[in-house]
């Protein structure tokens, strides 16, 4: 055993003893952590460009800043970058794929005509890696979304086009789930809204409801596919009114029994997703979390190990919701190495869940139920100094991924050997 490996194991043994004093079974926590699958978003690897070459602006309130060298330009380059990222993250995870990443062999295929065959390259790649894929219709960066309205558009032809795209994407998602033998979550997010205050708030929401009902009309076997709907507070170009608000989609998910997607960057800065989880899960069966970091607005920064990220993980674990919550990442930063961004965000999400799993929740709940709020606060603060990092390092070691900052050297080497050659 290498000296560094021995040090990791020694630190872990000491940490395990300390957590045992709090009544925490560390091995059990690591076993549960190994079951947490993060869905990595493909669009971090190429700045949400996709492979359609339509030349359309992103639109829909989406913008990517920075021009760090080495951006993926082809499906194979993007998959290679994802391979590198996955090699740095402990556990078995998933891919979150957008419809605009179809492989059409150089032919122009309209989005409402996409089929599972256009994603066979992704399916084959995921099958080799023994991992699942989640899917997203792409309702932006398209001439038919230029005015910012898609499923709620008053133009029948525009609305029909996007309804057909949504139906096609559900079929693709189900085919992916069946091929990989794990349910594919097909998540619907649309950019529809208004820059200024509209007179008619009701009409677009009625049209959106009808559009969604048409898209979801055909049943999908839940073994292969799950439907999700995602809300947003505002975006660039939709500052005053968003058709698919939180209240709209919460009601829709409850009424239509879909998964509800909560994006941690899609709410007012004074709101937190962690406070919504237990409320929402009283009324819907499952939720999808898009973990992002908004700075002043929904700016989709790389996830850091901050207070809200830990609070989200704690709420999921404390509520016993791990089997009802799906976790994906959603940020796109072109100002830093894109592979590093995946690694940083994913490792932080997993570390947040580890912190939550190492919490003596029963002890804290007993103090709370006894009205001992002094003891509760005191122990919560003491827990912040517990050696979770030693447990994390051990987890990485046993999962065969770089420990500590060693992963960064792997990324540096990949940048030197691979990314620098892309021009």
Report the chain (423 residues): mean pLDDT per 10 consecutive residues: 83 98 98 98 95 74 85 97 98 98 94 98 98 97 94 98 98 98 98 96 98 98 98 91 97 98 92 96 97 86 96 98 97 95 98 98 98 98 97 97 96 97 87
What tokens appear for 73 in the block? 């330009």
Q: Is 230 a catalytic residue?
A: yes
Residues linked to residue 185 through DSSP beta bridges, in sequence order: 226
Q: Residues 144, 165, 266, 326: which is the catalytic one? A: 266
Length of the chain: 423
Q: Is 298 a catalytic residue?
A: yes
DSSP assignment of 111-161: GGG--GGGGHHHHHHHHHHT-EEEEE---SSSGGGTTS-STT-S-HHHHHH
Q: Is 300 a catalytic residue?
A: yes
Q: Residues 41, 84, 98, 232: which is the catalytic one? A: 232
Q: Is 227 a catalytic residue?
A: no
- For the chain, the structural domain boundaries read 38-84+91-359
Q: Residues 81, 298, 333, 359: which is the catalytic one? A: 298
Q: Residues 47, 81, 263, 393: which is the catalytic one? A: 263
Q: Under 8 Å CB-to-CB from 59, ≥6 apart: which residues?
A: 140, 141, 145, 146, 148, 191, 237
Of 418, 391, 43, 336, nearest to 344 by C-alpha is: 336
What's the confidence (pLDDT) of residue 277? 97
Q: Residues 47, 178, 330, 393: which is the catalytic one? A: 330
Q: Residues 189, 342, 392, 407: which is the catalytic one? A: 189
Q: Is 232 a catalytic residue?
A: yes
* 141 touches 54 (CB < 8 A): yes
Q: Residues 290, 308, 359, 415: which is the catalytic one? A: 290
What's the confidence (pLDDT) of residue 295? 86
DSSP assignment letter at 222 = T
Instruction: Please name the fold of domain 38-84+91-359.
Output: TIM Barrel (3.20.20)
pTM of the model: 0.96
């Amino acid at each position: 055993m290498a000296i560094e490996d021995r040090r990791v194991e020694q630190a872990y043994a000491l940490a395990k003893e300390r957590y045992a004093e709090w009544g925490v079974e560390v091995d059990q926590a690591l076993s549960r952590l190994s079951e947490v699958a993060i869905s990595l978003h493909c669009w971090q690897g190429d700045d949400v460009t996709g492979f359609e070459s339509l030349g359309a602006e992103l639109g829909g309130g989406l913008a990517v800043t920075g021009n760090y060298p080495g951006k993926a330009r082809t499906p194979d380059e993007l998959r290679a970058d994802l391979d590198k990222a996955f090699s740095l993250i402990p556990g078995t995870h998933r891919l979150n794929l957008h419809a605009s990443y179809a492989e059409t062999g150089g032919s122009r295929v309209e989005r409402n005509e996409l089929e599972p065959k256009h994603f066979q390259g992704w399916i084959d790649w995921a099958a080799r890696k023994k991992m699942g894929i989640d899917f997203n219709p792409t309702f932006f960066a398209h001439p038919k979304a230029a005015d910012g309205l898609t499923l709620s558009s008053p133009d029948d032809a525009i609305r029909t086009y996007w309804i057909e795209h949504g139906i096609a994407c559900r079929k693709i998602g189900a085919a992916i789930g069946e091929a990989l033998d794990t349910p594919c979550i097909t998540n619907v997010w649309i950019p529809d809204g208004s820059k200024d205050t509209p007179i008619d708030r009701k009409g677009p929401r009625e049209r959106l409801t009808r559009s969604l009902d048409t898209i979801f009309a055909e049943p999908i076997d839940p073994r292969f596919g799950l439907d999700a709907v995602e809300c947003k507070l505002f975006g660039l170009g939709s500052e005053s009114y968003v058709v698919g608000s939180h209240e709209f989609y919460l009601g829709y998910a409850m009424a239509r029994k879909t998964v509800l997607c909560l994006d941690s960057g899609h709410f007012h800065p004074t709101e937190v997703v962690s406070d919504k989880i237990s409320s929402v899960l009283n009324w819907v069966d499952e939720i999808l979390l898009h973990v992002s970091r908004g700075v002043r607005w929904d700016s989709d920064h790389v996830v850091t190990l901050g207070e809200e990220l830990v609070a989200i993980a704690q709420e999921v674990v404390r509520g016993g919701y791990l089997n009802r919550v799906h976790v994906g990442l959603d940020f796109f930063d072109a100002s830093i190495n894109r592979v590093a961004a995946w690694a940083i965000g994913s490792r932080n999400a997993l570390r947040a869940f580890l912190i939550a799993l190492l919490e003596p929740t029963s002890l804290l709940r007993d103090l709370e139920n006894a009205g001992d709020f002094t003891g509760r606060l005191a122990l919560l603060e003491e827990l912040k100094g517990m050696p979770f990092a030693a447990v994390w390092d051990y987890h990485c070691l046993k999962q065969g991924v770089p420990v500590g900052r060693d992963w960064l050297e792997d990324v540096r080497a990949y940048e030197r050997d691979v990314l620098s050659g892309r021009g």
